[in-house]
Structure 1
Amino acid sequence: MTIKSSLFLFGVFLVSQIINAKDIKINSLQALAKYATESGNTITMKPGVYKLTDYLTLDIIKARRTNKEYQYITFSGSNNTFNLKGVEIELETEIRNSLKPPIHSDEFLITGSNNSFLGLTIRCVGQGTSPGGTVLQVAGESNILRDITLHVAGSYPYGYGDLFGKGKQAETTIKHQKHSGLLVTGNNTKLYGCKIYNRSFGHCFFIQQHPKNVYFEDCYAEGEVRSTDEILAETSGPAFDVNFKTWTQNREGEYVVTPGYMKSLCEDGFRTYGKSENITFKNCTAKNTRGGFELRFNSAHVENCTTIGTERGYWIGDNTKLINCKGDANYGPLLFVEGSNVDVELMVDSSESDRMVHALMTVFGENNKVVLKSADGKKRKQELPILVGYTPPMHGESMSPYSDAEVIGLHLKNETGMPMSIGAMAKNCTIETKGSIKENKGENNHIIEK
């Protein structure tokens, strides 16, 4: 067959797909589950609140448990458009306890490709827990999600963040059952205007299994925070039962909750695992999450993004670019750099809190470029040092100490007025600063004080 005839047949196939596509109106989760397995349709669902328990009855849950079918609805079809504006699925978290799934079993799953989803809200209710799964995983290729909103709950324990570990580590003092928001594992996934309100110990948005070309725009991740003083005031419960023993030591070398700090009760707003090609975040915001944008060991393009009230704002690795981003240091450092060839332009918000914070940023690695600015030219009243040639604290925990690390060829422009400490392993760096140099143990560094 010639190339010309092959192209002709492919064109006929595409036209037939368009002609045969159906515009379907539905008003039940049963119908949504049915058309989720089919392809080439436009499905519009009647707005309203739909209870998952009306679809997954006790008999169906029992049968699924026997058959080891742990997903609620799997969108295995391709080339569909799902118009779900005004649709809310009420997810009873007790269903997870009834299904008894293995760890990391996701609940709603998109495995088909070239689908578009618009306007769905999923809201977790009840007191059930999940053994480490996510509400929604996008595993297929070239799927587009617009204005999807998740209200996540259903972890144990909730109210402490990662003070007592993450569940599997040997140092964990309380065994966790996580429940996360939205996981991307599929290539060419695009998310626009998606929001996650996380009231669970788990991530909001996160990426695993090395997908390529994942794009976030106008997305929002929100957790909630709690002071360590409030945690220490408890007279019963899981933290009290372990005598407030943490998995990470504090600055005094003790493994105990320390007063004066603020903890996020969820994990990260936007998180990557491993190396994925061409990951982009544009106009996205993380509020009250543990990490705002935790993109370690991965290159990423981050533009016009914001962090508010996070334990640490941006944690980046090799070849990452931060362009016109901003954030505060109310509850922890704004920036950790632990890689090479990064290019950072970051605005520091002047807002402050009464919580303990030990640094504005830390940096190590080679050939990094960092520009720190102050919002509206305002200087913070509380001085937070910029640490050149230092690691983040263990596990990123604000209560824990920093360590020396090698930084070579750094170009840093400090316009914040914050003081700087240059460690013994800092070499051949060029630093322009409007803040004072509190300490300079480095070698062959060019310092320009303004």
Structure 2
Amino acid sequence: MNIKFSLLLVCAVFISNVIEAKEIKISSIEELAKYAAESGNTINMAPGVYKLTDYLTLDVINARRNSKEFQYIIFSGSNNVFNLNGVEIELDTEIRTLLNPPIHSDEFLVTGSNNSFLGLTIRCIGEGISPGGTVLKVAGEVNILKDITLHVSGSYPYGYGDLFGKGKQKETTVKHQKHSGLLVTGNKTKLYGCKVFSRSFGHCFFIQQNPKNVYFENCYAEGEVRTTDAVLAETSGPAFDVNFKTWTQNREGAYVVTPGYMKSLCEDGFRTYGKCENITFKNCTAKNTRAGFELRFNDSARLENCTTIGTERGYWIGDNTVLINSKGDANYGPILFVEGSHVNVELTVDTAESDRLVHSLMTVFGDNNKIVLKAADGKKRTQELPILIGYTPPLHGESMSPYNEAEVSGLNLKNEIGMPISIGKMAKSSTIETNGKIIENKGENIEVVKR
């Protein structure tokens, strides 16, 4: 078969698929589930609030539990367009409790490819608990999600963040049951204008199984925050029952909740696990989440024009990451952790401050990193936070925990924000341009240029 004939055949198949595509109007979740399993359709769902319990009745839930069918809807079809603007699915979390699924069972699951989903809102209500899964998982390839909004609740315990552990770790003092927002495992997934509002212990957006070419644009993640003082004021409940024993030690070496800090009640705004090739975040924002963007195990991530607001730590990045034209604050915790090599950072530091304890502006270790810190509107923070060169993040990123030292070399740091700098004994062969003071310099072959 020659190349010209092959191209003609591909074009013919594409045209045939377009001609055969059906435009279908629906007005129920039952119809949505039906067409989710078919291919080549344009589905227009009538706007409105749809109760998932009208579709998953008690009898259906019992039957699904017995047959081990734990997903609510599986979008297994391909080449579909789902126009869901104005559609809200009310997800009673009691369904999860009644189904009693195994851990990490996802609820709405996309396994088909080349689908577009436009405008859906899913809102969790009720007092049910997830044993550890996500509201929406995108596993198929080349799927597009636009203006999808998730309101997530249904974890246990809620109100403490990761003070008492995160999962299966043996140090966990209170067993968690997580409920996360949106998980991506499929190659070439693209998300535009998607939002996750988390009132649950779990991630907002996260990526697993090393997919390639995942793209986020204009996406938003939001959690809630609470002071450790408020936790310590409790006179009953899971924290009180374990005498406020934490899974991570504080700076005095004790495993106990320490007053003075701010905790996010969810996990990370945007999180990657493993090395996901060619992942991009553009114009994305995380507010009041644990980490804004935790990409430390990833390689070659790109972040452009992103923002963190009121996070426990803003950006936690690894090898070959490009973080440019972005900004954040150190209101409740450090703005930046670098634990990798060959990163390129251009970051504007907002002047937002609080009465919460924060022990550093940033930490960095690794080789041949380039970092430029800029002041927002040329203004300097009132509270001085040290830039720690040749230091690791605290254990598990926990603000209450101490820092350790680690090797850093070939660093090119430009400090334009007037913050002080501390250079550890494992730092070497680096250049520091700064308009702030040097607290200490224990490094070797460190060139300091005062501005």
| TM-score of the aligned structures, taking structure 1 as reference length | 0.99
* Corresponding residue number in structure 2 for 1:354: 355
Task: Quote the Cα distance in structure 2 between the aligned partners of 1:266 and 1:228.
Answer: 14
Q: Aligned-pair distance for 1:342?
A: 0.1
SS at match of 1:445: strand
Task: Quote the Cα distance in structure 2 between the aligned partners of 1:135 and 1:273.
Answer: 18
Task: Quote the Cα distance in structure 1 between the aligned partners of 2:403 and 2:188.
Answer: 38
* Corresponding residue number in structure 2 for 1:68: 68
Q: Aligned-pair distance for 1:8?
A: 3.0
Cα RMSD for the two superposed structures: 0.7
Question: Conserved in 2, the CA contact under 8 Å of 1:130 and 1:177?
Answer: yes
* Corresponding residue number in structure 2 for 1:207: 207
* Corresponding residue number in structure 1 for 2:254: 254
Task: Quote the Cα distance in structure 2 between the aligned partners of 1:11 and 1:255.
Answer: 65
- Confirm or deny that 1:145 pairs with 2:151: no
Q: Which amino acid aligns with 2:25?
A: K
**5+ residue gaps in structure 2?**
none
Q: Which amino acid aligns with 1:411?
A: N
Alignment of 1:386-401 (within 5 A): 386-401=387-402
Alignment of 1:47-196 (within 5 A): 47-196=47-196
Task: Quote the Cα distance in structure 2 between the aligned partners of 1:3 and 1:316.
Answer: 44
Task: Quote the Cα distance in structure 2 between the aligned partners of 1:336 and 1:36.
Answer: 42
SS at match of 2:444: coil
* Corresponding residue number in structure 1 for 2:413: 412
Task: Quote the Cα distance in structure 2 between the aligned partners of 1:323 and 1:443.
Answer: 29
- Confirm or deny that 1:221 pairs with 2:201: no
Task: Quote the Cα distance in structure 1 between the aligned partners of 2:69 and 2:348.
Answer: 48
* Corresponding residue number in structure 2 for 1:287: 287
Task: Quote the Cα distance in structure 2 between the aligned partners of 1:435 and 1:21.
Answer: 63
Question: Conserved in 2, the CA contact under 8 Å of 1:40 and 1:80?
Answer: yes
* Corresponding residue number in structure 2 for 1:334: 335
**5+ residue gaps in structure 1?**
none
Task: Quote the Cα distance in structure 1 between the aligned partners of 2:8 and 2:316.
Answer: 50
Task: Quote the Cα distance in structure 2 between the aligned partners of 1:373 and 1:421.
Answer: 18
**CA deviations over 1:40-78 (Å, ceiling 9, x no partner):** 110000000000000001111111111111100000000
Q: Aligned-pair distance for 1:13?
A: 1.9
Q: Which amino acid aligns with 1:102?
A: P
Q: Which amino acid aligns with 1:351?
A: A
Q: Aligned-pair distance for 1:167?
A: 2.0
Q: Which amino acid aligns with 2:57?
A: T
Task: Quote the Cα distance in structure 2 between the aligned partners of 1:436 and 1:192.
Answer: 42
- Confirm or deny that 1:303 pairs with 2:304: yes
Task: Quote the Cα distance in structure 1 between the aligned partners of 2:216 and 2:293.
Answer: 12
Question: Conserved in 2, the CA contact under 8 Å of 1:167 and 1:174?
Answer: no
* Corresponding residue number in structure 2 for 1:403: 404
Q: Which amino acid aligns with 2:270?
A: F
**CA deviations over 1:273-316 (Å, ceiling 9, x no partner):** 00011000000000000000000121200000000000000000
* Corresponding residue number in structure 1 for 2:268: 268
Query: How many residue pairs are counted as aligned between the two chains?
Result: 450
Q: Aligned-pair distance for 1:327?
A: 0.4
SS at match of 2:445: coil
Comparing 16-25 with 410-419, which one deviates more in the overlay? 16-25
Task: Quote the Cα distance in structure 1 between the aligned partners of 2:245 and 2:306.
Answer: 35
Question: Conserved in 2, the CA contact under 8 Å of 1:131 and 1:177?
Answer: yes
Comparing 1-10 with 284-293, which one deviates more in the overlay? 1-10
Q: Which amino acid aligns with 1:71?
A: Q
Task: Quote the Cα distance in structure 2 between the aligned partners of 1:293 and 1:115.
Answer: 27
* Corresponding residue number in structure 2 for 1:429: 430
SS at match of 1:275: coil
Task: Quote the Cα distance in structure 2 between the aligned partners of 1:334 and 1:95.
Answer: 39
Q: Which amino acid aligns with 2:58?
A: L
SS at match of 2:141: coil
SS at match of 1:53: helix
Q: Aligned-pair distance for 1:3?
A: 3.8
Alignment of 1:2-81 (within 5 A): 2-81=2-81
**CA deviations over 1:297-356 (Å, ceiling 9, x no partner):** 212000000000000000000000001100000000000000000000000001100000
Q: Aligned-pair distance for 1:9?
A: 3.0
Q: Which amino acid aligns with 2:360?
A: A
SS at match of 1:85: coil
* Corresponding residue number in structure 2 for 1:345: 346
Question: Conserved in 2, the CA contact under 8 Å of 1:332 and 1:357?
Answer: yes
Task: Quote the Cα distance in structure 2 between the aligned partners of 1:288 and 1:23.
Answer: 41
SS at match of 1:145: strand
Task: Quote the Cα distance in structure 1 between the aligned partners of 2:400 and 2:372.
Answer: 26
Q: Which amino acid aligns with 1:78?
A: S
Q: Which amino acid aligns with 2:401?
A: S
Runs of 4+ in 1 over 4 A off after TM superposition: none
**CA deviations over 1:427-446 (Å, ceiling 9, x no partner):** 00000001000010000110
SS at match of 1:17: helix
Q: Which amino acid aligns with 2:268?
A: D
**CA deviations over 1:343-375 (Å, ceiling 9, x no partner):** 000000011000000000000000000000110
Q: Aligned-pair distance for 1:15?
A: 1.7
Q: Which amino acid aligns with 1:186?
A: G
Task: Quote the Cα distance in structure 2 between the aligned partners of 1:75 and 1:134.
Answer: 15
Q: Which amino acid aligns with 1:64?
A: R
Task: Quote the Cα distance in structure 1 between the aligned partners of 2:3 and 2:283.
Answer: 43
Task: Quote the Cα distance in structure 1 between the aligned partners of 2:364 and 2:10.
Answer: 53
Q: Which amino acid aligns with 2:54?
A: D
* Corresponding residue number in structure 1 for 2:325: 324
